Structure formats: C-alpha cells, structure tokens
C-alpha cells in the first residue's frame, strides 16, 4: 500500500529528526515539525504501523522507527 501525502510527510519528519539528532523523535517532536497536534500524528502513525511502514516499542519513548 502506498502512503498518502500526509503519511509521507510524517515518515519524512521521522527520518529527518532521527538523522538530525541521532536518536528517534517523540510524537510531539514530529507534530511540532509538521505544525500539527500530537493526536493527529498518533492517528497517522497507527495507520502506518498497521501497514508495516513504522514500528515502536509500546510504552517506551524514542523507539519510533521507519521500517521500510
């Protein structure tokens, strides 16, 4: 499944922030980069996780990663 434009923006933000800082971003950091609410990013991440494009360890910070 091909990600939507907004999903692609979230993926790009994750990759940029991880590369820039050297560690995975939080949902709030991704939201700040995209100038949106963390709840919006969380919804998008849930969809991306369902199709296998991102993953994270539940209950742990800074484990968000792009899979493909």
pTM (whole model) above 0.85: yes
Q: Is the CB of residue 10 less than 8 Å from the CB of residue 48?
A: yes
pLDDT attached to residue 67: 95
- At residue 68, the pLDDT reads 74
Cα–Cα distances in angstroms (integers) from residue 47 to residues 7, 20, 21, 23, in the given order: 9, 25, 25, 22
What pLDDT score does 25 carry? 98
Q: What is the pLDDT along the chain (68 residues), one digit of tens a residue?
A: 899 999 999 999 999 999 999 999 999 999 999 999 999 999 999 999 999 999 999 999 999 999 97
CATH number, span 5-66: 1.10.10.10
Q: Specify the 3-state DSSP secondary structure of 29.
A: helix
Cα(27)–Cα(61) distance, integer angstroms: 9
């Amino acid at each position: 499944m091909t990600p939507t434009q907004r999903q692609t923006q979230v993926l790009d933000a994750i990759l940029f922030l991880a590369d820039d800082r050297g560690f995975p971003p939080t949902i709030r950091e991704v939201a700040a980069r995209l100038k949106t609410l963390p709840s919006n990013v969380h919804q998008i991440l849930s969809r991306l996780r369902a199709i296998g494009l991102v993953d994270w360890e539940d209950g742990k910070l800074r484990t968000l990663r792009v899979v493909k």
